[in-house]
Amino acid sequence: MIVEPQSPRDIQLVMIHEGTFERFIVTGQQGEEWITYAQGEIHRCQPVAPVSTMPEGADLAKFEPIAEAQINQQEVSDVGPRWDSLVRARRHQHQVIGEFSLEQRFVGEVADYHIHPALMDHCVNIANGLAGTDTYLPFSYRSIKVFRALPAHFSALLTMKRGQEQAPETVKYDIDIVGPDNEPVMAIRDYVIKQYKQNFRTELGGGFETVLVPQELSRSSAPEGGGHRTARCRAE
């Protein structure tokens, strides 16, 4: 979704109970038409103890220290201090290990979220620069398994899966996150980033800020199926 400056857009998150799982839809109104921007399902995981996949010993020794600027497209956007969470990173071929820690002044926020949005966003996009010199933005996930809440300090292994093209349109990652105790926190499969044609590096303007303003939602303004639980925000 692209929101032009000074052009408010209503966005709705619709949660639909489907018996054994929840279905969600992120939708917005453009003129008289409702457009679906994202959708998916939330299922309860089976109580099977996950196994950590983080490299150890000789496998870990293959990873060499690397600066964030060498693997991340930092110049694409300025998202604020909560995204300054990478402590150190190491790389071996198509894999990156990152250690993340939220600044002490923000640590209290972790209790308000099961998955802190800034920590999650920074973690999954830390290696976008490995895809190529073009701009890549988040596009989709195939699955996310959450075993426990995302802590303020954790490590992640990102494994890039791409073909032989120099500038592929999409690139996939598998991402495994573990806590300080090396116990699994999340397992993400087929996280897709997509090439965006606009060159932010040469066409940057003054930029603008997205402000989400919660609003009451009337049934008459809801999209089809609006009798379900719905949260509405306005992007300005």
What are 175-221's pLDDT values in tens digits? 999 999 988 999 999 999 998 876 554 544 444 444 445 555 444 44
- State the first-to-last Cα distance of the chain, in angstroms, to the nearest integer: 13
Residues 222 and 128 reside in one and the same domain: no
Residues 167 and 73 reside in one and the same domain: yes
Is residue 235 pLDDT above 90, yes or no?
no
Alpha-carbon distance of 110 to 87, in angstroms, equals 17
Residues 76 and 117 reside in one and the same domain: yes
197 lies in some domain: yes
Residues 137 and 110 reside in one and the same domain: yes
4 lies in some domain: no
Residues 121 and 229 reside in one and the same domain: no
Q: In which domain, by residue range, is 67 found?
A: 57-203
Domains identified in the chain, total number:
2
Confidence of residue 151 (pLDDT cuts 50, 70, 90): very high
Q: How much is the pTM?
A: 0.76
Residues 77 and 122 reside in one and the same domain: yes
Alpha-carbon distance of 154 to 98, in angstroms, equals 9
50 lies in some domain: no
Residues 188 and 120 reside in one and the same domain: yes
Residues 28 and 124 reside in one and the same domain: no
Q: Which residue from 121, 128, 142 is spatially nearest to 191, judged by alpha carbons? A: 142
pLDDT in tens, 42-80: 988 776 666 777 898 999 999 999 998 888 876 656 678
Min mean pLDDT across 85-94, 133-142, 223-232 is at 223-232
Residues 79 and 162 reside in one and the same domain: yes
